[in-house]
C-alpha cells in the first residue's frame, strides 16, 4: 500500500481519531486477521457475532506492531480510527488509495463461471507488461476486494479483480471501491439463482460492471452469450466482442482439442492472425483465453507475443480443471472447487473429449445455491452426461439424486449411473472400480466433493505434472 499518515487515513474513511498520533505513518499491510498484522500496519476490527475483532485490537498493536486500529468502538489504550461501519470504511480506504495511483489500470471481471480462472489468465498476461496485483483464489467480495486493492502501490500498473454478485447492486458497490477501466463479462448462467430469482436478474447484476466504465474504458464482452452481448447497450465505453461468433473482433477459429482437452486455435484479431496452443484443459478455456487476450491487446501486447503468452498460461488457483495422471494409468480431472450447471457441462465436455478412446467416469455431487432451479439444474446435468456418452456416473449424496434421474432418463445411453450415499462411499466405489486407462472427473460444490479428488490424488501419486 502507499504510506499514509493516520490523520490522512482517518480523513479518507471519515473516521475520528482516538488516542492515535495523527502523524504516525501507516505503511501497511492492512489486515483483519490480527495474526497477520506487521509493524507499520493497520488492524481492521469487525464487530462479529461469534468473534469480535475488537477483542484482538490491543494484541494487534502490542504484539503485531499495528500503528492503529480501524474499528467501530473504543478499546482502552488502543490508538484508534473510529468509524460507524468498518467494512464500508475499508472500501472507502481502498478507493482513496486507488485514486492516488493514476498510473494504475484496474481490470474487473465478472460472470457466472470462470471468474477466478480468467482473473488468473489475465494476471499472467499483464505481469509481462508491468507490476500486477491480483489476489490468490477468489477474494471477490466486499472484504477481499478492498483487501486486494490495498496491496497496490505506486509501482503497481495493473490490478486484476473478480467481482462477484449475490444480488443487485453488489457489483456496482465493488466498482465504487475499485473502478475498472477495463471490464470483462464472461457469461450469465444460473449460479446463485437461488438468491437472484431469475436469469434476467443475474444479467442485470453482472451488467453493472460495464455501466460504471468511463468513456475511455473498454468493455470486453462474450459474443457467444446473448445476455452478455446485449450489455453493449449498457455502457458508455468502447466495447470489444470476443468469442467464436463470426462478428467477434477477437475470435478463435479452427478450434481443435488434444487428448488432454487442451485447445488449439487460430486467433483472429484486427492486427492479424496467429496460431495459439493452450496448455490448459477444457474447451471453455478458449473463451476465457480470448477474454484475457482482449485485455492484453488493449494494454499494448503485440500479437506475436500474445499468441505465445496464451500458450504459456497455467491455472494457479487449485481444483479448477486440474488434470493429472496417476501412476496406475488413471487420469483425474479435479474440477471440484465449485459447481453449477454451466461449469459442470463444461467439465463433462472436457471429460468426454479426453475420454474419446478411454473409459470415462464422472463423480458428480450436489450443486448448491440453485434455489427453485435445483431439481431441473441437476437433472439437466445428468442428461448431458448420458448424452455425451460418459460411461459411468457416480452420483454422490441424496440431494444430488436428480442427476441420476436425468441420466437414466436418456433412453439410448449405454452407460450406468450409481447413487452413493456420501463421499466415503464414492471413494470406496472408485477404489474397487478404477483401472488403468480410466479418466475420472470430480465435480460438485466445494468441500465435501473435493474429499474425493483428494483421495484420488493421495492413493496413487502423480506420475506427471498436470495442466497447472
Ligand X SMILES: Nc1ncnc2c1ncn2[C@@H]1O[C@H](COP(=O)(O)OP(=O)(O)O)[C@@H](O)[C@H]1O
74 binds, among Mg ion, ligand X, none (CB under 5 to 8 A by kind): none
Distance CA 438, CA 311 (A): 27
* Cell numbers that stand for 223 in this block: 459474443
- Three-class DSSP labels, 406-429: HHHCCCCCCCEEEEECCHHHHHHH
SS3 content of the chain, % helix, strand, coil (to 5): 40, 20, 40
Q: Residue 412: which residues within 8 A CB-CB, separation 6 or more?
A: none
Distance CA 59, CA 308 (A): 49
Distance CA 123, CA 131 (A): 10
Q: How far is the CB of 342 from ligand X (least distance, A)?
A: 5
**Is residue 138 within the footprint of Mg ion (CB under 5 A)?**
yes
Longest dimension (CA), the chain: 75
CB nearer to Mg ion: pick between 138 and 151 = 138
**Is residue 115 within the footprint of Mg ion (CB under 5 A)?**
yes
CB nearer to ligand X: pick between 32 and 450 = 450
Distance CA 375, CA 131 (A): 46
Q: How far is the CB of 337 from ligand X (least distance, A)?
A: 5
**Is residue 191 within the footprint of Mg ion (CB under 5 A)?**
no
**Is residue 116 within the footprint of Mg ion (CB under 5 A)?**
yes
CB nearer to ligand X: pick between 70 and 350 = 350
- What is the x/- site pattern for Mg ion, positions 201-230, by CB under 5 A? ------------------------------
Annotated binding residues for ATP, as ranges?
111-117
Q: How many residues make contact with Mg ion (CB under 5 A)? A: 3
The total of other beta-carbon atoms located within 10 Å of residue 375's CB is 13
What is the binding site for ligand X (CB under 6 A)?
A: 111, 113-117, 138, 162, 186-187, 284, 287-288, 320-321, 335, 337-338, 342-343, 346-347
| Cis geometry, peptide bond prior to residue 93 (ω within 30 degrees of 0) | no
Reference 1, options 123, 122, 207, 148; nearest CA is 148
Reference 364, options 320, 400, 329; nearest CA is 400
Q: How far is the CB of 395 from ligand X (least distance, A)?
A: 18
CB nearer to Mg ion: pick between 322 and 438 = 322
Annotated binding residues, as ranges?
111-117
CB nearer to ligand X: pick between 132 and 285 = 285
Q: How far is the CB of 443 from ligand X (least distance, A)?
A: 7
Q: How far is the CB of 269 from ligand X (least distance, A)?
A: 20
Q: Interface with Mg ion by CB under 5 A: which residues?
A: 115-116, 138
Amino acid at each position: 500500500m502507499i504510506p499514509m499518515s493516520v490523520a490522512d487515513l482517518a480523513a479518507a474513511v471519515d473516521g475520528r481519531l482516538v488516542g492515535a498520533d495523527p502523524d504516525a505513518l501507516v505503511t501497511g499491510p492492512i489486515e483483519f486477521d490480527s495474526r497477520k498484522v506487521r509493524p507499520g500496519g493497520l488492524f481492521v476490527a469487525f464487530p462479529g457475532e461469534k468473534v469480535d475483532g475488537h477483542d484482538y485490537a490491543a494484541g494487534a498493536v502490542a504484539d503485531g506492531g499495528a500503528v492503529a486500529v480501524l474499528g467501530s468502538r473504543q478499546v482502552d489504550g488502543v490508538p484508534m480510527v473510529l468509524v460507524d461501519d468498518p467494512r464500508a470504511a475499508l472500501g472507502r480506504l481502498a478507493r482513496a488509495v486507488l485514486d492516488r495511483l493514476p498510473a494504475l489500470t484496474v481490470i474487473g471481471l465478472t460472470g457466472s463461471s470462470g471468474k477466478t480462472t480468467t482473473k488468473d489468465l489475465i494476471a499472467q498476461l499483464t505481469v509481462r507488461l508491468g507490476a500486477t496485483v491480483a489476489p490468490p483464489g477468489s477474494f471477490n467480495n466486499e472484504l477481499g476486494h478492498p483487501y486486494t486493492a490495498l496491496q497496490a502501490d505506486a509501482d503497481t500498473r495493473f490490478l486484476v479483480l473478480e467481482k462477484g454478485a449475490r444480488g443487485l447492486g453488489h457489483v456496482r458497490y465493488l466498482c465504487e471501491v475499485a473502478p475498472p477501466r477495463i471490464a470483462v463479462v464472461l457469461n450469465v448462467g444460473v449460479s446463485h439463482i437461488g438468491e437472484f430469482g431469475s436469469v434476467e436478474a443475474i444479467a442485470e447484476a453482472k451488467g453493472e460492471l460495464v455501466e460504471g466504465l468511463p468513456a475511455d474504458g473498454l468493455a470486453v464482452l462474450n459474443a457467444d452469450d446473448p445476455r452478455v452481448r446485449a450489455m453493449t447497450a449498457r455502457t458508455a465505453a468502447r466495447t470489444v466482442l470476443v468469442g467464436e461468433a463470426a462478428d467477434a473482433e477477437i475470435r478463435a477459429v479452427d478450434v481443435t482439442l488434444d487428448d488432454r482437452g487442451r485447445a488449439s486455435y487460430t486467433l483472429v484479431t484486427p492486427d492479424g492472425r496467429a496460431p495459439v496452443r493452450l496448455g490448459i484443459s477444457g474447451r471453455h478455456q478458449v473463451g476465457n483465453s480470448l477474454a484475457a487476450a482482449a485485455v492484453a491487446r488493449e494494454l499494448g501486447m503485440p500479437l506475436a507475443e500474445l499468441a505465445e503468452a496464451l500458450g504459456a498460461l497455467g491455472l494457479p488457483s487449485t481444483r479448477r480443471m486440474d488434470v493429472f495422471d496417476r501412476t496406475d494409468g488413471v487420469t483425474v480431472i479435479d474440477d471440484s472447487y465449485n459447481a453449477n450447471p454451466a461449469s459442470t457441462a463444461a467439465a463433462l465436455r472436457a471429460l468426454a473429449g479426453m475420454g474419446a478412446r478411454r473409459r470415462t467416469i464422472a463423480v458428480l455431487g450436489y450443486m448448491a445455491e440453485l434455489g427453485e432451479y435445483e431439481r431441473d439444474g441437476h437433472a439437466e446435468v445428468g442428461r448431458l452426461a448420458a448424452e455425451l456418452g460418459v460411461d459411468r456416473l457416480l452420483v454422490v449424496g441424496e440431494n444430488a439424486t436428480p442427476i441420476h434421474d436425468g441420466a437414466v432418463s436418456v433412453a439410448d445411453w449405454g452407460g450406468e449411473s450409481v447413487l452413493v450415499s456420501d463421499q466415503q462411499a464414492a471413494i470406496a466405489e472408485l477404489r474397487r472400480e478404477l483401472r488403468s486407462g480410466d479418466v475420472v472427473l470430480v465435480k460438485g460444490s466445494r468441500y465435501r466433493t473435493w474429499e474425493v479428488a483428494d483421495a484420488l490424488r493421495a492413493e496413487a501419486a502423480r506420475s506427471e505434472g498436470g495442466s497447472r
